[in-house]
Amino acid sequence: MSAQEESNSKYAFLFPGQGSQTVGMGFDLYKASSLVKDVFEEVDDALGRKLSQIIFEGPEEDLRKTINAQPAIMATSIAAYRFVQASIKNVPDPIFLAGHSLGEFTSLVASGVLDLSETARLVQKRGELMQKACELRPGAMAAVLGLDAVTLSEISAQTGTYVSNINTENQIVISGEKKQVAMALDMSMARGARKVVPLKVAGAFHSGLMEPAREGLINAIAVMDFNEPIIPIVGNTTFQKLDTSEQVKDELVNQLCNCVNWKQSVDYMINNGVSSFIEFGPGKALTAMIKRINSDCKVFSVDSVQSADKLDL
């Protein structure tokens, strides 16, 4: 990148959501950096249990449980973020932070809204509440490829399902009760969907079926002392920047039962000057989405020492 291009580049930092977890994630960062060790140890201490052992050793079945997956992904994402901040020269300051669903909670740490221990406890509580909601109101989720949001909204209205994630223009996730989701998938194929993919999740996230978790999350947030964000967070449901702690609190509650509109969040950041994105955390799901949303953007993904070393900033 030329000096002129570098000076014109504005960055956003991104954090992934549930489903990106893999056993062993972050372990090479853990071995390479005492700062990263501190991250995992602080999360273990905050939760009063050895979550790091499940992260590094599994079994996968345990890591996949919502109560473990959510704080595990958050911890690994912050580990990657802090490793880069400490060990890579000339890391730019982002003008926005954003996270996909759970990743929005990770951004609380990077923006200074909550510290790592507070966020770990809040994320674990969110996971508990969502798991209970899944048991009270069992549901399913599925990705539909090749149909737009307007068409999927029509299908959802006809089948009693929900549009839960608009990841890109043609990658949209629906959720709801299992029979209704199956009906919606059949209808989607009949309307010309290229592919439908049932997702391996515990229930219907970002839908009305999560309503039983809402009050508990409101109460958990109410007893925490939120700081004003140092860096604006772009909200999943508002796709606008969140400048105040009250806006952040409202967003965290609203995204529980409402659609994560990732495409419009990314469009907002691009329209406000972002040309480069760095995804911190396991997997490369957000990087792949951004490439499909706007192929002109520069994208980087950091989930290991090797990927951090390859950053071309």
* Active site amino acids: 101, 206
Strands (E), 246-292: 260-261, 276-280
Task: Say how far apart CA 152 and CA 184 lie, in whole Å.
Answer: 9
- Which residues share a beta bridge with 171? 145, 168
Please choose, from the candidates 9, 114, 278, 36, the residue with its C-alpha nearest in 3D space to the C-alpha of residue 106.
114
Q: What element of type H or E holds 141?
A: strand 140-145
Task: Say how far apart CA 230 and CA 270 lie, in whole Å.
Answer: 20
Q: Do 160 and 188 contact (CB within 8 A), yes or no?
A: no
Pairing label, strands 162-168, 140-145: unpaired
Q: What element of type H or E holds 195?
A: strand 195-198
Biggest CA pair distance of the chain: 56
Task: Say how far apart CA 33 and CA 193 lie, in whole Å.
Answer: 46
Q: Do 197 and 143 contact (CB within 8 A), yes or no?
A: yes
Measured from the Cβ of residue 259, the count of other Cβ atoms closer than 10 Å reads 24
Residues 6+ apart with CB under 8 A from 240: 234, 268
Q: Do 26 and 282 contact (CB within 8 A), yes or no?
A: yes
What phi and psi values does residue 114 have, to the nearest 5 degrees?
A: -135, 160
User: In the chain, count of helices (H) and strands (E)?
Assistant: 15, 11
Residues 6+ apart with CB under 8 A from 2: none
